[in-house]
Amino acid sequence: MREIVERILAIEKEQTRRAANNFLAEYNSGEKKHLKQLAFHKCQKKNRWVFGGNRSGKTECGAVETVYMARGNHPYRENRKDTFGWVVSLSTQVQRDVAQAKVLHYLNPAWIADITMLSGKKESPEYGVIDQIMVKNVFGGISVIGFKSCDQGREKFQGSSLDYVWFDEEPPQDVYEECRMRVIDKNGDIFGTMTPLKGLTFVYEEIYLNPKNSPDIWCEFMEWADNPFLPENEIKALTETLSAEQLDTRRYGRFKANGGLVYPEFDENVHVIEPFNVPADWYDTISIDPGLKNPLSAHWYAVDYDGTVYVIAEHFEAEKNVEYHAGEIKRISARLGWGTDASGRIRALIDSAANQKTLAAVKSVSELFYEQGINVNPNVNKDLFSGIARVKQYLKPAAGKPKLYVFKTCVNLIRELKSYRWADGDAPKKFDDHALDELRYYIMTKPEGSPPKSDKSLIAKDKERLFRVILNERKQKKY
C-alpha cells in the first residue's frame, strides 16, 4: 500500500511540475479571451499579418503559432509532423529579448529535445542567442525552430525548405521575398506581427492593400483595447505619454505617411461585412466609372428601409471594351436578380465624361452601353469635395452604426478606401480611385441623412428587424 501511495504522490508531483510550465494550455483558455488573437489562429490563409501597437498582444500570436506548429498540436489547423520553421527578428539582440523569450515562455522545457546556441549556454538559453531548438512533437518525432536575424543579410536566408516563417516586426523586402521562396516547396505559411513604424513600405503596398487580390493574404489590426489582459489604468497611463501621431502607430498599429488618409473613418472591422441575401426591394442602382485601358469600376448598390447603403457586388477590370464590360454587368445582374427598365435594359449611373466622343470614335461610351442593353445616366454630381464630405458622412457612425457597408467580396473598393490619400495640395492623389469616383457619384444621389424611401409597414419593419439580427450574428461569427 505504501508503494502505491508513493507512486501516486510522485505522479501528482510530476503533474504539478508540468502544469506549472504549461503556459500554452493557459493561452486564451480562461474567461477573458483575446478575440483577435483567436481570429489569427483560426484563419486558414497562407500569408497572415497582424499590425498592432505595442502591448496589443500581437507578438503572443506569433510565438504561440510557432509553438503550435512545432509541437503539432495546432487546435485550428491540420497538423504536420517534424516541421522546420524560422523565427525572423530584426537583430540578434531583438531576437533574444522579444521573439526568443516569447517562444521559450510557451515552450514547456519537457518538450525540448536539444538546443544549439550562437552564444551563451544551452542550460540557460534565455540569456544567450539561440540558433535552433529541437522540439519533441506529439507525433513522436522532432521539429526544429530556427532563429534568424535580418541583419545577417539575404544570403543567410537561402537554401532551406520550410513549413513556416514568423516575422517578428517588419523585415527588409529582399528578406521577405527570400523567405517566401523557402516555403513554396512545402506549401508552407508566412505570418508576421509588427508595429508599422517605417511608413508606407512594401508591407503596406503589397500586403495590406493587396493590389493583386491574393486569396492567401489576411490582415488584422490590434490595439490596446483589444487586449483584455491590459489593465485600463495602464492604457490610460500609456495614452497620456504619447502624442496623437504616436498613438496612431504605437497604439493602433496604423500605417502613416506624409499625406493623410482621405477616409480615416473607414474601418474594415466595421464597414466590411459578410455577404448575405439582400431583399430585392432593397436594390437601388449600379454606378460605373468607365475605362478601357484603365480599369472600369462598377458596383451594385442596395438601400434598406432606414437608408443604410450596402455595396453588394463588384465588376472591376482593365483593358476591355464596352461589349465585354456590358456582358459582365448583365451576367452579375442576372445572378443577383437585378431589375430592368420597361425596355429590358439595366439602369446605371456613369461618369458624365462617357457622353464625350473622341476623334477616333463615332459613338460615345454612353451610346455604346445603350446598344449593349445598359441604360446609363451621365447626369451625376462630380463635385469632388462635396462628394468626399458626403461619403465621410455615410462612413461615420450615427446612433452607433454607419450608413454605409461594403460586402467583403468588393475587394477593389475596399483597397481604394484604405489607400486613398491627400496630395501635397488640397486635393487627393489622382491614383487608384476608379471605384471611389463611382461611389461618390452614387452617394451624391442620396439625400443628406438618407431618410427611408417610404413609410415602413409592420411587415417591412419585421423584415428589417430579422435582417438586422442575421447581419449582427454574421459579424459576431467573424471572431
Decide whether 34-250 matches 273-477 in CATH topology. Answer: no
Contact 45, 215 (CB under 8 A): yes
The pLDDT, as a whole number, for residue 451 is 44
The pLDDT, as a whole number, for residue 472 is 65
Q: Could you give the CA distance from residue 412 to residue 436 in angstroms, rounded to a whole number?
A: 9
The pLDDT, as a whole number, for residue 421 is 87
- Give me the residue spans of the domains in the chain: 34-250, 273-477
Q: Could you give the CA distance from residue 479 to residue 92 in angstroms, rounded to a whole number?
A: 35
| CATH 3.30.390.50 is held by the domain 273-477 | no
The pLDDT, as a whole number, for residue 455 is 58
Phi, psi of 148 (to 5 degrees): -130, 155
Over the chain (479 residues), the average pLDDT of each successive run of 10 is 68 54 90 95 97 91 97 96 96 91 95 95 92 96 96 89 96 95 96 90 93 94 93 83 78 79 90 96 96 92 95 96 96 96 95 78 89 95 88 87 96 94 76 94 80 58 69 60
The pLDDT, as a whole number, for residue 450 is 45
The pLDDT, as a whole number, for residue 330 is 97
The pLDDT, as a whole number, for residue 15 is 53
What value, to the nearest 5°, has the Cα angle with vertex 224 and ends 223 and 230? 150
At 193 the three-state DSSP class reads strand
Q: Which CATH number fits domain 34-250: 2.40.50.140, 3.10.20.310, 3.30.70.1400, 3.40.50.300?
A: 3.40.50.300
Q: Could you give the CA distance from residue 113 to residue 137 in angstroms, rounded to a whole number?
A: 10
